[in-house]
Amino acid sequence: MAAGRALAVNAPQTIPADEARELVDTRFTVPGMRCAGCIAKLERELPKVQGIEDARVNFSAKRVALRHVPELDEARLIEAIEALGFEAQRVADNPLGQDDADRRLLLRAVAVAGFGMMNIMLLSVSVWSGAGGVTKQLFHWLSAIIAIPVIAYAGRPFFASAWMALSHRRTNMDVPISIGVLLATALSFYETLTGGAHAYFDSAVMLLFFLLTGRALDAMMRGKTRAGIGALLGRMGRSASVLGADGTIERMAAEQLTPGMVMLVAAGESLAADGEVIEGASAIDNSMLTGESRLESAGPGSEVHAGSINVMAPIRVRAKAVASDTKLAEIARLMDEAGQSRSRYVRIADRASRIYAPAVHTLALLAFVGWMLAGAGWHQALLISIAVLIITCPCALGLAVPAAQVVASNALLRQGLLVKDGTALERLAEVDCVRFDKTGTLTLGRPRPDLRGLDEEAGAIALALAQNSRHPLSKGLAQALLANGVVPASVTDVVERAGEGIFARFGGTDVALARPSEASDHPMSELRIGDRRIAIHFADPLREDIAETLHQLALMGLHAELLSGDRKDAVEA
């Protein structure tokens, strides 16, 4: 730690222009961040370390991103963070910024505080109702017996955070909370010992309960907002079959893959790395990256990406980018950057909260001194200063704006909109034109078949074939036929051929659901029953609420336009 402290206090070194291009980014999880003061401390002090150019904090993710020279390794960066009084972990060790032990402690503290609060409040009702004499003193002692262990246990999240901050000569939001709760408890115990008229154990425990409840809700909110990134990264294949130089096949975790390895990707398998197809032909479901439901053909020389699904046939892929270098990981980083960005209102709140905590301490001290000078006595002056410490907690000021931004960004992500910079949310108030993509935005993004050309037998055969195929058109056809109550026919010798279709036999007759023999300008399949040919046309229907959406935009004075890469006639249709 001594080395870390020496590193942290070094003066910043100017990085020459030719070296600035070589700066690298490293991210660490910092579970101990509690408030805007912690954010300010990290972002202000870390750039003072020699070799660190910039530090950006994502509070919702409990993560700090450092931009630094390559010579600074992870161990030295962790030392610099720890020198400021924070625990730091590699992102790989705690990818979602979660501390399960801390979360369990928080939930237990809420339960203990709630139990203590309810019991002390029952005793306090009698005191408030006018009980006096021995009864009042007995209830004060019973309240003290319950409150002191409850406060000692339930207040640990605040006390530990405040002690760590003070031991590193800084303050955070937990310092005034801890001082206020401890002073209120100490004063109440003094009143109980001396037979005073008032004790405030109920108020101290109730304050802890509500503060802990707020912190628990904040933890739940952060967990939900981070679930989007976890779900996104979960789309990446967890492992891959790797072909060795001697021809052996070994199953390896995605983290163990290196560029140059040859992966054997089975039909229906999700890719674990970005790469290039070197053997085989198939169709790839790349909808998670492109938003397009239509399959993309893949053959030798085609680029494929982690998280996409190989639909039709086995292929061999040479890995080019793995783990954190994949396109999928880059999208996750964009989501992180959205949380790290500082919009105008976030910056205003940060600056205000940075000076707010010292101002609160100063105000509480001035209140105590002022009332003492006014002749109120130390008891009344102390009560007023405690009230100042408790009611002026700036947590909402420092955290409400970024929390609202993160929640809004993740709500939009669940609707398919990725917010790269928080300023985009603020600039929405200035928007005068809205441009829509067509496929998957104005339309459902799911092919819907026209079944009018299918009789009962043809529908049953088509359903039997479609149920044996992974192709999106086949899936859409199967869903539509099942919704119409069609029962699948019994087919045998089912074979799916990449790029051609699915073939089988029905009662001695060759049947197939295949690619049309003639080129078409729109999605379609061809059902073959012996020599019979039936064209099945597909359309991507508009969303049912699009007309109402456009009407509401018009009422708001917003002009709507359409952007699409499709043909003009398809767009106009």
For residues 70 and 90, give the distance between their C-alpha atoms in angstroms, rounded to a whole number.
16
Bridge-based pairing of strands 448-449 and 274-279 is unpaired
What pLDDT does 260 receive? Answer: 92
pLDDT at residue 538, rounded to an integer: 84
Whether 319 shows a pLDDT value over 90: the answer reads yes
> How many Cα atoms occupy the beta-carbon half-sphere of 31 within 13 Å?
18
pLDDT at 149: 95
Across 128-135, average pLDDT: 77
Q: Sorting pLDDT into bands at 50, 70 and 90, what band is 20?
A: very low
Residue of 226, 491, 482, 496 whose CA lies nearest to 335: 226
Higher pLDDT among residues 53 and 379, named by residue: 53
Higher-confidence position of 306 and 544: 306
Active site residues: 437
The pTM of the whole model exceeds 0.75:
no
CB burial readout 414-423, b (16+ within 10 A) else e:
eeeeebebbb
- Candidate ranges 11-20, 305-314, 412-421; pick with highest mean pLDDT: 305-314
Mean pLDDT of 288-304: 79
Task: Reduce the DSSP state of residue 479 to 3 states and report it.
Answer: helix
Structural tokens at position 75: 């161990």
- Token digits of residue 525: 């399949």
Residue 399's pLDDT is: 54
Distance between start and end Cα atoms, the chain = 68
Domains of the chain: 2-90 (3.30.70.100), 106-231+335-405 (no CATH), 239-325 (2.70.150.10), 448-539 (3.40.1110.10)
Structure tokens at 354: 């940075």
- Alpha helices by DSSP H, listed for 392-440, are 395-414, 423-427
pLDDT, mean of residues 86-113: 73
Pairing label, strands 262-265, 532-539: unpaired
Q: Which is more confidently placed, 241 or 401?
A: 241
**How high is the pLDDT of residue 136?**
83
User: Given this model, what pLDDT does residue 12 score?
Assistant: 39
pLDDT at residue 13, rounded to an integer: 43
Mean confidence (pLDDT) of the chain:
80
d(CA 539, CA 446): 8
Residue scoring higher pLDDT (357 or 182): 182
User: C-alpha distances in angstroms, 204 versus 1, 146, 181?
Assistant: 36, 12, 6
**How many Cα atoms within 13 Å fall on the side-chain side of residue 562?**
17
Sort strands 24-29 and 296-298 into parallel, antiparallel or unpaired: unpaired
3 state DSSP class of 397: helix
Pair 176, 161: CB distance under 8 Å: no
How far is the C-alpha of 69 from the C-alpha of 387, rounded, in Å?
Answer: 48
Residue 182 predicted with pLDDT over 70: yes
One-character DSSP codes across 284-305: EE-HHHH---S-EEE-TT-EE-
Range scoring the smallest mean pLDDT among 76-90, 231-245, 246-260, 369-383: 231-245
pLDDT in tens, 529-570: 999 999 998 877 777 788 888 889 889 888 888 876 665 666
Q: Which of 2-6, 412-416, 439-443, 498-502 has the lowest mean pLDDT?
A: 2-6
**Across residues 470-490, what is the average pLDDT?**
88
Q: How confident is the model at residue 318 (pLDDT cuts 50, 70, 90)?
A: very high
Query: What's the confidence (pLDDT) of residue 36?
Result: 65
pLDDT exceeds cutoff 80 at 4:
no
Average pLDDT for residues 216-244, to the nearest whole number? Answer: 72
Q: With bands split at pLDDT 50, 70 and 90, how would you rate the model's confidence at 482?
A: very high
**Where is average pLDDT lowest: 87-96, 190-199, 468-477?**
87-96
Model pLDDT for residues 441-468, shown as the tens digit of each residue: 777 767 788 888 899 999 999 999 999 8
Neighbour-count burial for 305-324, b at 16+ CB within 10 Å, e otherwise: bbbbbbbbbbbbbbbbbbbe
Residue 226: band (very low, low, confident or very high) from pLDDT cuts 50, 70, 90? low
